Structure 1
Amino acid sequence: MNKNILKSIQFAISNGTEYDKKRKNVKTFGSDWMKFPNTERSIGIFPLNEMLEKSARVFGSNIALRTKTPQGWCEYTYSQLLSSVKRVADYLRRRGYRKGNFIGIIGENSPEWVISFMAIQWIGGVAIPLDPRAREMELHPIFDHSGLRAIFASTRHLAILTRMKESGDFRKDRLVISMQETGKDDHLPRILSDFRDDAEREKVSLEDLAVIQYTSGTTGSPKGVMLTHQNISSDINSLYQAVVFDQRDRFFSVLPIHHAYEGTAGNWLPLSVGASITYSRSLRSKEMLEDARETEPTVMLAVPLLLEKMFLGIQKRLDESPRYVKGIMVLLTGCASLLNGISKRSGSKFGFRKLRERMGFGKLRFFVSGGAPLLPWVQKGLEDLGFVVLQGYGLSEASPVLTLNPPQETRLGSIGLPIPDIQIKLVDPDPEGIGEIAAKGRNVMLGYYRNEEATQEAFTPDGFLLTGDMGYEDKNGFLFITGRRKSIIVTKGGENIFPEEIERLLLESPFIEEILVVRGHHSKTGDEEVQAIIYPNFEELNHHLLREGIERLNAEEIRKVLQEEIDERGKKLAAYKRIMYFTVRTEEFPKTTTNKIKRYLFEQQDLKRK
């Protein structure tokens, strides 16, 4: 029997799952024997430290983590990962850290980040992942609120922590451990060489706290989301039941690991099934594609902005191609569409196989899109090139995934179906069926750390988590998001306007890079109206104006082009939803970790219509 198949069977048995003898082996990728949602298979629900121990026992020689360095590829097998985790755990215990202690991690995606996180779990500690892009003024309230006792930090964050210690914003008795080599004693390379790998795994229950995930989202007020081992592990199990994953998968990690989306779905899930994770050196397209070509990923998590830039990059290269290449592309597109009508996706997969292989995504099973709504034209454009894009939905408070599109049947614009063991309902739906999305399941948080009032407000009387997102479901149960509850604009006539609906429509314009639709007032009448703040695509505007014979960008011409786009695309909207006034930004909007615009910074502004 194939060695990898034997490992899968052993792993299933070790988790108390009965292997289905009717299935002769593990089905190959792309087969449809496992429909979504599916509750036939389970990998079990375990504390995170136990999950790692089981994976190391079954998949010991498999590559778990890797990243490219100037010296070449740095790789850890599952056995080496567990050994490293035990050494760091031994160090932490010798320094006096025990079960229940709060320990932070701040740094870029790397194997060392995962080793630090799992070492905290090994001793039964509580990990506090921190945003590596956060400024000192953003970190200070989290340090103060959490009371963390130690922190693992990458080299570039050591200077920040030193300054914070000197200014009194970071207690001097807190231990700082560098994840890279330094001249001081407390750094991972020295710990991994000097300490023993026989530290025993701390016994923790599923109800014990594993992570406090600080999140401000788009509201600006950081809250500590308390996630237990059961919360995270049950979400992993639900995802596993929804989509086939196993040790043959190669995950490609580009999103920040401190975020719950990349943490759970992009790291702890693959580590639970023996898959490998490659950390891209950066988001620069050259390095990212080089890493992808060398590792041939099968799964990649992304946010919509990344997928949009990827698709537009492909389009731009094709537009700059010789005429005969464009002709071939037109022919391929036509043939692919014809074949797709006979067998779904087959034409696109075959016709554009070489293009995907040149990008390093020839073996990619699917992109998973989350963190923000995916524009339908981006999804369709990628699917026309043979990519499979699964849009999902969740939030940190749910560990985080709640819904996902089935690989066999994706719906444009939909966030999919509830994954197994998740209950979804719509609270107070209006006559059109739009209500607030609420969720219940073992993956839902305990509450907000030291914030009982916010915890009470987050749940319905019957225990459903209120997401703050408004949406509806179609006749087949697929969910669609219309916007945020707090962002709704209500007209004098009582109509509800969802800014996100207007934003999605305007973002189809090649001249609009980013847009924020807000509530405003007419300067003379005082009447409430729909207004917008626009960050243009200056490169596209420049090309367009050059074709019109205008050699230099100027504010008047920019406004003229944008107004034409707003007027033309606004014809698709009801009159009360149309943008009446807009201003232009010359720099990108500030964003959250998942590239959502920090809406709260602008919603209180009242644009002055001239």
Structure 2
Amino acid sequence: MIKENFIKLYEHSFRDNWDLPCYTDYGQNTSFTYGEVAKEIAKLHLLFEHCKLRRGDKIALIGKNNSKWCIAYMASITYGAIIVPILQDFNPNDVHHIVNHSESIFLFTSDTIWDTLEEEKLPNIRGVFSLTDFRCLHQRDGETVQKFMKYINQKMKTAYPHGFSPDDIVYTDLSNDKVMLLNYTSGTTGFSKGVMLTGNNLAGNVTFGIRTELLKKGDNVLSFLPLAHAYGCAFDFLTATAVGTHVTLLGKVPSPKIIIKAFEEVKPNLIITVPLVIEKIYTNVIQPMLSKKGMKWALSIPVLDSQIYAQIRKKLIDSLGGRFKEIIIGGAAMNPEVEDFFYKIKFPFTIGYGMTECGPLISYAPWDEFVPGSSGKTLDIMEARVYKENTSDKLGEIQIRGENVMVGYYKNEEATKDVFTKDGWLRTGDLGTIDENNNIFIRGRSKTMILTSSGQNIFPEEIETRLNNLPFVVESIVVERNKKLVALVYADYESLGSLGLDNPESLKTIMDENLKNLNKAVAAYEKVSQIQLYPTEFEKTPKKSIKRYLYDNI
């Protein structure tokens, strides 16, 4: 058990960092100090008390990253309620299901998302509140929520006649073994499962961030990953708020142009990101430099190459604000070409590994200890092993246990039983190896691995990585059709059109050449039989990995 109480971390932080900036909405005039956030939390606690919310009641939360999202989350957990963050990418039917399945009685949501929901499909909800200004958007018949919120400032004056001060910050006394968060995963079939995370699971992640000084008091961080997802939430938000970091919330889709401008303005001390974002920056910032006339020649000369790489490294660091100690990349597999280049130029990046069921962190190594090709070192509060069906197998399933591992799936004993081994290890579903220094190397998902008739293991992700590096390929999926491999490709139609190459004949010529070059680079048993063009981008999960199951039978 983690010795630090999860809720008390925030009680102490709001007191100790009272005058420091806490949350800022990027591009807007909305900004809160830690003291102002504490006051907003106190207002919501008065609301919860008025409505006689009990410890353990569920409060759902859905909307883009903004200050009010963070305040609603903090108010819920510090009151003793269980927070249910929902990714705003989920469709209305999934949102209805999650709110009902979790038995949430309050809902904090953006006005636009509320317009897509149907109140009659949310029978257990007593009150709905806007993430713009906390006004009551809907109340169940017989409730007095709207009236109470109308006079909330007067209620605060009555409750705190001498004004709200740091001494008034006293949060619920709740032990770390209590469930504090229900995080619904983007399930591949049917509705997603509700991961039950305790205060101990969350404290395991946050205190690791504190102990390793990922963030410190007075630091700046730019939050652009969805906070409803465990990865961004644990570090951009929960760890940051626990130590007195200033969190700027982007609240927009992080396109390369928008995010580089934001990095330059915010100058974050740590960057938490997924491969898709960093790979786009590589494509937009680095590749144009490498493509300049004479660059390949210059890079072939030993003395010049180190000077050029140093210049590229500096330009890249400057474009990301210039003050970060490292970039932590996680959430999906990294393109090996990009990883190799960053390592070659000594760029301060590292790749971590985690899953929602661990809130999320499993492994991490500082950038100067990072082993290329790995996903970091197993955390000191976690254990990892490789389980092999046969002792002769080169790979096995990564299985884990430790402080960060969830207690199970909400109201789903069967799924909980399936995901744990009989001796209590969590099955990750990832195949890989672990070296003598506890570095984890992921090769692929056990569910996506293709077993050939000759007994060869094919990891489609590895073929896709090669294919995605070929001309005019934006993204791809490799699937099995009649015991042959077929690649579905979403092409760079915009670039093709600008060159007048978007006609059927040119497309076929280009993709035939790509297929020929791909098959030269893979093993004989990995050869792809054909490339099949796909007209649109592939549908993604909230952490930007392709929903492969949707394309299995296309």
User: Which residue matches 1:416?
Assistant: 376
Superposed displacement of residue 237, structure 1 = 2.0
User: Which residue matches 1:396?
Assistant: 356
State how 1:6-45 maps to structure 2 within 5 Å.
Answer: 45=3
Give 1:279's match in structure 2, choosing from 249, 273, 282. 249
Superposed displacement of residue 210, structure 1 = 0.5
Contact 2:45 2:75 in 1 (8 A): yes
Q: 1:534 to 1:138 in 2, by over 3 A?
A: same
Query: For 1:503 and 1:418, how far apart are their aligned partners in 2?
Result: 27
Contact 2:105 2:124 in 1 (8 A): no
User: Which residue matches 2:531?
Assistant: 582
User: Which residue matches 1:269?
Assistant: 239
Q: Deviations over 1:160-207 (max 9, x none)?
A: 23xx11xx3222753101121368675999687454355742211111
User: Which residue matches 2:467?
Assistant: 506
Contact 2:205 2:404 in 1 (8 A): yes
State how 1:451-466 maps to structure 2 within 5 Å.
Answer: 451-466=412-427
Aligned residues: 534
Q: 1:418 to 1:320 in 2, by over 3 A?
A: closer
Give yes or no for the alignment of 1:64 onto 2:22. Answer: yes
Q: 1:337 to 1:151 in 2, by over 3 A?
A: same
Give 1:539's match in structure 2, choosing from 488, 494, 517. 494
Could you tell me which amino acid in structure 2 is paired with residue 594 of structure 1?
K
Superposed displacement of residue 45, structure 1 = 4.3
User: Which residue matches 2:161?
Assistant: none
State how 1:377-526 maps to structure 2 within 5 Å.
Answer: 377-383=337-343, 387-428=347-388, 431-474=392-435, 476-521=437-482
TM-score normalized by the length of structure 1: 0.81
Give yes or no for the alignment of 1:94 onto 2:94. Answer: no
Matched residue SS, 1:596: coil
Q: 1:77 to 1:85 in 2, by over 3 A?
A: same
Query: For 1:90 and 1:211, how far apart are their aligned partners in 2?
Result: 21
State how 1:153-172 maps to structure 2 within 5 Å.
Answer: 153-161=109-117, 164-165=118-119, 168-171=120-123
Superposed displacement of residue 95, structure 1 = 1.9
User: Which residue matches 2:159?
Assistant: none
Matched residue SS, 1:311: helix
Superposed displacement of residue 444, structure 1 = 0.4
Q: Deviations over 1:256-285 (max 9, x none)?
A: 000011111221111222222111242244
Identity, % of aligned pairs? 28
Gaps of 5+ in 2: 138-144, 157-163
Query: For 2:306 and 2:255, how far apart are their aligned partners in 1?
Result: 35
Query: For 1:373 and 1:585, how far apart are their aligned partners in 2?
Result: 22
Query: For 1:337 and 1:188, how far apart are their aligned partners in 2?
Result: 67
Contact 1:218 1:597 in 2 (8 A): no
User: Which residue matches 1:569?
Assistant: 518
Gaps of 5+ in 1: 1-41, 340-346, 522-527
User: Which residue matches 2:142?
Assistant: none
Q: 1:276 to 1:187 in 2, by over 3 A?
A: farther
Contact 1:249 1:275 in 2 (8 A): yes
Query: For 2:18 and 2:132, how far apart are their aligned partners in 1?
Result: 25
Superposed displacement of residue 473, structure 1 = 2.8
Q: Deviations over 1:291-329 (max 9, x none)?
A: 3222211111111111111111103654797x6xx7699
Query: For 1:172 and 1:244, how far apart are their aligned partners in 2?
Result: 40
Contact 1:423 1:439 in 2 (8 A): yes
Q: 1:229 to 1:280 in 2, by over 3 A?
A: same
Query: For 1:388 and 1:189, how far apart are their aligned partners in 2?
Result: 48
Contact 2:359 2:404 in 1 (8 A): yes
Q: 1:574 to 1:186 in 2, by over 3 A?
A: farther
Instruction: Give the superposed CA RMSD.
Output: 2.9
Q: 1:479 to 1:266 in 2, by over 3 A?
A: same
User: Which residue matches 2:160?
Assistant: none
Give yes or no for the alignment of 1:179 onto 2:131. Answer: yes
Matched residue SS, 2:528: coil
Contact 1:406 1:417 in 2 (8 A): no
User: Which residue matches 1:111?
Assistant: 67
Query: For 2:501 and 2:364, how far apart are their aligned partners in 1?
Result: 46
User: Which residue matches 1:53?
Assistant: 11
Query: For 1:313 and 1:333, how far apart are their aligned partners in 2?
Result: 25
Q: 1:232 to 1:333 in 2, by over 3 A?
A: farther
Q: Deviations over 1:490-534 (max 9, x none)?
A: 11112221111211222222422111111211xxxxxx1222211
Give yes or no for the alignment of 1:338 onto 2:299. Answer: no
Superposed displacement of residue 412, structure 1 = 2.8
Q: More deviation in 54-63 or 110-119? A: 54-63
Contact 1:251 1:299 in 2 (8 A): yes
Superposed displacement of residue 570, structure 1 = 2.2
Matched residue SS, 1:516: strand
Give 1:233's match in structure 2, choosing from 186, 203, 216. 203
Give yes or no for the alignment of 1:529 onto 2:484. Answer: yes
Q: 1:460 to 1:337 in 2, by over 3 A?
A: farther
Give yes or no for the alignment of 1:246 onto 2:255. Answer: no
Query: For 1:152 and 1:188, how far apart are their aligned partners in 2?
Result: 16
Q: 1:552 to 1:287 in 2, by over 3 A?
A: closer
